[in-house]
Amino acid sequence: MPVEGGVVISFARMNRILALDVRNRRAHVQPGVINLDVSKHAAESDLFFAPDPSSQKISTIGGNIATNAGGPHCLSYGTTVNHVLGLEIVDEHGEVFTTDLDGPGYDLTAAMVGSEGTLGIVTSAWVRLLQLPETVRVWLAAFGDVDSASAAVSAIVAAGIVPTALEMMDAVITRAVEAAFHAGYPTDAAAVLLIENAGFADDMDACEAAVEAIAKDHGAISWRTAAGAVERDALWAGRKGAAGATGRIAPNYYTQDVCVPRSKLPQALRAVDAATTAHGIVVGNVFHAGDGNLHPLLMYDKRNLKQVAAVVESGNAILQAAIDLGGTISGEHGIGFEKREAMTQVYSTADLATMARVRDVFDPTRALNPEKIFPRGTRCPEVAPPADPTARSA
C-alpha cells in the first residue's frame, strides 16, 4: 500500500538472518526473526545471542529491541541494549537512517532500544554474539521461607559472585510447574532458587562450593546440582514455561513487572502478598531475583469482572510499592498504555518533556505506536478496569 511521500515496506516477511559474521561475532538480522532462532543458528559456530526472555521461542528481535528485553541471563550478560551494535530505522518521515555503536557522532542506538516503536521502525539490526561457555552448571536451593531465600540472593552477589542466572520461584509456581513439566523442582519449599553459572570448567567446583555454603548459611533446607544437560534443560523448560503452567490454577494471569533494589526483595515480596491478599487474588512469584526484577503472576478468570477489577487494583498497588521502595515501574516488559501514568512518578516534568522533544524529531505527529509510554492524564480504556489486563509471559 503506497504511502504519500514515504516509503513502502512489507514487514510480513522480515524474518531472515541476513548475515552471520563469525569472525567479528555478530549477526545482521531482520526484526521478525524469532529470538531463539538467532542462538540456534549461531550455535553451529559455538556462538549465542545472550538476551533470553522467557518468551524467546515466540518473541522477535524487533520486539526485544522495542522493549529492551532482559530474561534470566541478563543478570550476567545485560539486557538487549548491551547486545545491539547498530540499527537500520525508518522514522515517521520515511527517512531511513542507521545508528552505529562504534562510530563518532551521536550514539542513538540506546535511545532507540526500549523506545517501544515510538521513534521509528527497526528494519534490521546488527546484534552481538557471545562465545558459548565451556561449562554450564545449574543448582537448586530450597528454603523454608521467602526472606531466607532473598537474603541468600543478596549474599551471593555481595560475595562478588555474579551467576549467569539467579531466579526465584515460590511454592505456588513450583507446584504448577511440577504438575505440568515434572522438571524436578521441590514442591514442599516456600521458595526455590534456580542458580546457573557458566564459564571455565576449572572455576566451577570453587564457585559451587561458595554458592552452596552461602545458601546453607542462609538456611537452605535442600541443595541439588543438576546431573547433566538433560536435567538442566528440564529445569529451564520448567522455569521458562512457568507462566503457561499457571493455567492449572486459573484460566488467566496478569504479569506485573517491577524492579526494586536487590536488598529490598523481602519487603517487595511482602508488599506483593499484602496487595493480593487484600483483594482475594492468588499470586505466584517467579522472577529474576538476582537483579531485583519481580514478576508476580496474578491469577484470575477474565469472565469474572470483579476479579478483573481486583487484579488491576492489586497490580497498581504492587507498582506503587515498588516505587515507594526506590524501584522502578518496568524491568523489561515496557510501559505501553498500562503504565504510562506512572511515568510521572519516576521522571520529572523536565525529563518527560525532553523525551517528548526527542520524539518530535522522529515522530512529530505521533503516528508511530501512538499513545504509548507518555502520560495523557487518562488511562486508556484497554487496561482500565473492568477490561482484561494484558496477559504477558513472565
Query: Which positions lie near a copy of itself, rule CB under 8 A?
Result: 23-24, 68, 81, 91, 95-98, 102-111, 113-115, 119, 131, 160, 202, 259, 261, 263, 328-330, 334-335, 339, 343, 346-348, 350-355, 357-362, 373
- Listed as own residue / partner, the contacts of 359-364 with beta carbons closer than 8 Å and 24 or more positions apart are 359/118, 359/119, 361/91, 362/91, 362/92, 362/118, 362/119, 362/120, 363/91, 363/92, 363/118, 363/119, 363/120, 364/92
Q: Could you give the CA distance from residue 309 to residue 295 in angstroms, rounded to a whole number?
A: 19
Cβ-based nearer residue to a copy of itself, 150 or 174: 150
In the complex, what is the shortest distance from the CB of residue 105 to a copy of itself, in angstroms, rounded to a whole number?
5
Cβ-based nearer residue to a copy of itself, 98 or 304: 98
Which whole-number Å values give the CA distances from 96 to 9, 91, 190, 280, 392, in the listed order?
11, 7, 52, 51, 32
In the complex, what is the shortest distance from the CB of residue 380 to a copy of itself, in angstroms, rounded to a whole number?
17
Q: Could you give the CA distance from residue 57 to residue 216 in angstroms, rounded to a whole number?
A: 35
293: β partners? 259, 288
In the complex, what is the shortest distance from the CB of residue 41 to a copy of itself, in angstroms, rounded to a whole number?
21
Cβ-based nearer residue to a copy of itself, 101 or 213: 101
Q: Could you give the CA distance from residue 206 to residue 24 in angstroms, rounded to a whole number?
A: 32
Cβ-based nearer residue to a copy of itself, 131 or 187: 131
Cβ-based nearer residue to a copy of itself, 44 or 202: 202
In the complex, what is the shortest distance from the CB of residue 350 to a copy of itself, in angstroms, rounded to a whole number?
5
Cα angle for residues 67, 58, 48 (degrees, 5° grid): 80
Cβ-based nearer residue to a copy of itself, 162 or 274: 162
Cβ-based nearer residue to a copy of itself, 136 or 343: 343
Which one-letter amino acid corresponds to residue 343?
Answer: M
In the complex, what is the shortest distance from the CB of residue 278 to a copy of itself, in angstroms, rounded to a whole number?
26
Give the DSSP H or E segment for 212.
helix 201-217
In the complex, what is the shortest distance from the CB of residue 347 to a copy of itself, in angstroms, rounded to a whole number?
6
Which whole-number Å values give the CA distances from 24 to 45, 80, 130, 230, in the listed order?
12, 18, 10, 31
Q: Could you give the CA distance from residue 206 to residue 211 in angstroms, rounded to a whole number?
A: 9
Residue corresponding to grid cell 514442599: 188
In the complex, what is the shortest distance from the CB of residue 51 to a copy of itself, in angstroms, rounded to a whole number?
15
Cβ-based nearer residue to a copy of itself, 5 or 228: 5
In the complex, what is the shortest distance from the CB of residue 267 to a copy of itself, in angstroms, rounded to a whole number?
16
**Reduced to 3 states, what is the DSSP secondary structure of residue 2?**
coil
Whose CA is closest to 394, among 258, 301, 193? Answer: 258
**Strands annotated E in 210-344:** 220-225, 252-255, 258-259, 283-287, 293-294, 296-300
In the complex, what is the shortest distance from the CB of residue 106 to a copy of itself, in angstroms, rounded to a whole number?
5
Whose CA is closest to 29, among 102, 126, 107? Answer: 126
Whose CA is closest to 124, among 204, 208, 46, 9? Answer: 9
Q: Could you give the CA distance from residue 323 to residue 314 in angstroms, rounded to a whole number?
A: 14
Cβ-based nearer residue to a copy of itself, 304 or 328: 328
Cβ-based nearer residue to a copy of itself, 189 or 325: 325
In the complex, what is the shortest distance from the CB of residue 249 to a copy of itself, in angstroms, rounded to a whole number?
29
